[in-house]
């Protein structure tokens, strides 16, 4: 690895305090009982398993956790179960984003009371607000609690990107410290990292290695449900300047990324993956999602085996 790239990796991803939400954070699914009710015992067991496997951050009640179909009270119960299960062994971040600034702020305040150590705030979706409205929304939510905030930039779902200049402005807020980046524009992300102190997290497993080599400090991963250890090894490899090893891990995990993120809906396939591993009791999801089919599960099993994760 060239000296400059080694220096960049050490200075960004390895510097103390540079990764406010851990290095390998998993966007947790929410386990349900057969009847669709919360499986809090399964939630605790899954959180403990992920941390044991190498995750040092957990995102609860994000879209992978089926936040659109869980109530505020259920989100609170799940968050408290995860906080109790992992204690100080991982940073627990609460997904609180909605398309309503007031509701989002209320969820943020409830998450702080429940013990969250940070907030994940997605752009308001469907209404496609202009950039000034995005800015005001994020500032209002970040000002509602004392918790550090990770912005979630995923225009394919929200309908609007957070523009570079908006991110630069938002970085001036003391509590806006990170971005979960699923924009799919590595150059734009590189520019924001170059111009601000925002900690970048890959929010797209297909681009984990790419964003890490551009200065991201970690990832918020769905595939991490079954590959937290491998992603932790990837981060350590880059920290030590071993790009060859990081690339080997990236290539090995391609079938798993394809199987979970490319063959169906992410939350649906992630649940199928952890069910295959015996960590949760079923792959129940809430409508309008439907569980992975037997054919999808069979292919997923083959994909995980190809990635060495069976």
Can 113 be counted among the known catalytic residues? no
Q: Residue 145 phi/psi, 5° resolution?
A: -140, 180
Confidence of residue 4 (pLDDT cuts 50, 70, 90): very low
Q: Would you say residue 134 has pLDDT above 90? A: yes
Please indicate, yes or no, if residue 258 is contained in any of the structural domains.
Answer: no
In this structure, the strands spanning 149-153 and 57-60 are unpaired
The answer to whether residue 51 is domain-embedded is yes
Q: Report d(CA 29, CA 16) in Å as an integer.
A: 29
- pLDDT for res 271: 98
Taking a C-beta distance cutoff of 8 angstroms, is the pair 59, 220 a contact?
yes
**Above 90 in pLDDT, residue 133?**
yes
User: Domain of 78: which CATH number?
Assistant: 3.20.20.70
What is the reported pLDDT for 10? 40
Mean pLDDT lowest among 16-20, 25-29, 97-101, 186-190: 16-20
Strands (DSSP E) contained in the chain are 24-27, 57-60, 91-95, 118-122, 149-153, 176-181, 199-202, 218-221
Residue-wise DSSP of 77-133: HHHHHHHHHHGGGSEEEEE---S-HHHHHHHHHHHHHHT-SEEEEEPPPSS---HHH
Residue 103 lies in a domain: yes
User: Considering the domain boundaries, does residue 262 fall inside one?
Assistant: no
Tell me which H or E stretch contains 48. helix 40-53
Mean pLDDT, to the nearest integer, of 180-193? 97
CA 147 to CA 144: how far, in whole Å? 9
215: containing domain = 24-240
Picking from 60, 63, 62, the residue whose alpha carbon sits closest to that of residue 265 is: 63
Tens of pLDDT, residue by residue over 51-93, are 999 999 999 999 999 999 999 999 999 999 999 999 999 999 9
* 213 assigned binding-site residue: no
> Per the confidence metrics, is the pTM higher than 0.85?
yes
149 beta partners: 119, 176
Could you read off the pLDDT of 249-280 as tens digits, one per residue? 999 999 999 999 997 799 999 999 999 999 99
Count structural domains, the chain.
1
Higher pLDDT, 263 or 186: 186
Q: HSE of 16 in the Cβ direction (CA atoms, 13 Å)?
A: 0
Catalytic residue among 49, 75, 180, 271: 180
How high is the pLDDT of residue 6? 35
CA distances from 37 to 41, 96, 145, 278 (A): 12, 20, 30, 19
Residue 195 lies in a domain: yes
Q: Would you say residue 67 lies in a domain? A: yes
| Residue 17 lies inside a defined structural domain of this protein | no
Q: Do 195 and 203 form a contact (C-beta atoms < 8 A)?
A: no
Cβ proximity of 8 and 217 under 8 Å: no
Report the 10 Å Cβ neighbour count for 226.
27
Res. 18 pLDDT band, cuts 50 70 90: confident
Q: Is 180 a catalytic residue?
A: yes
Catalytic residue selected from 125, 135, 152, 231: 152
User: Is residue 263 in a domain?
Assistant: no
Indicate the average pLDDT of the chain: 94
Q: Is 220 annotated as a binding residue?
A: yes
């Amino acid at each position: 690895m060239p000296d400059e790239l080694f220096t960049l990796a050490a200075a960004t991803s390895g510097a103390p305090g540079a990764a406010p939400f851990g290095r390998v954070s998993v966007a947790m699914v929410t386990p349900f009982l057969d009847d669709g009710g919360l499986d809090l015992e399964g939630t605790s067991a899954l959180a403990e398993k992920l941390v044991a496997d190498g995750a040092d951050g957990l995102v609860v009640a994000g879209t992978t956790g089926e936040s659109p179909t869980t109530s505020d009270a259920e989100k609170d119960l799940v968050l408290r179960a995860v906080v109790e299960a992992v204690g100080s062994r991982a940073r627990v971040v609460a997904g609180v984003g909605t398309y309503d600034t007031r509701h989002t702020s209320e969820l943020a305040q409830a998450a702080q009371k429940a013990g969250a150590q940070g907030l994940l705030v997605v752009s308001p979706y469907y209404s496609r607000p202009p950039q000034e409205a995005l800015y005001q929304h994020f500032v209002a939510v970040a000002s509602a609690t004392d918790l550090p905030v990770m912005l979630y930039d995923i225009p394919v779902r929200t309908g609007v990107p957070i523009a570079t200049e908006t991110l630069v402005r938002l970085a001036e807020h003391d509590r806006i410290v990170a971005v979960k980046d699923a924009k799919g524009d590595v150059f734009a992300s590189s520019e924001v990292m170059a111009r601000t102190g925002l900690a970048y997290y890959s929010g797209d497993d297909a681009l984990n290695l790419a964003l890490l080599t551009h200065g991201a400090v970690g990832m918020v991963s769905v595939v991490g449900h079954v590959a937290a250890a491998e992603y932790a090894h990837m981060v350590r490899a880059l920290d030590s300047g071993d790009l060859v090893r990081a690339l080997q891990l990236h290539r090995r995990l391609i079938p798993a990324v394809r199987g979970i993120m490319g063959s169906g809906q992410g939350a649906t396939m992630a649940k199928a993956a952890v069910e295959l591993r015996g960590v949760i009791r079923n792959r129940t999801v809430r409508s309008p999602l439907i569980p992975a089919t037997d054919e999808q599960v069979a292919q997923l099993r083959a994909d995980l085996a190809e990635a060495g994760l069976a």
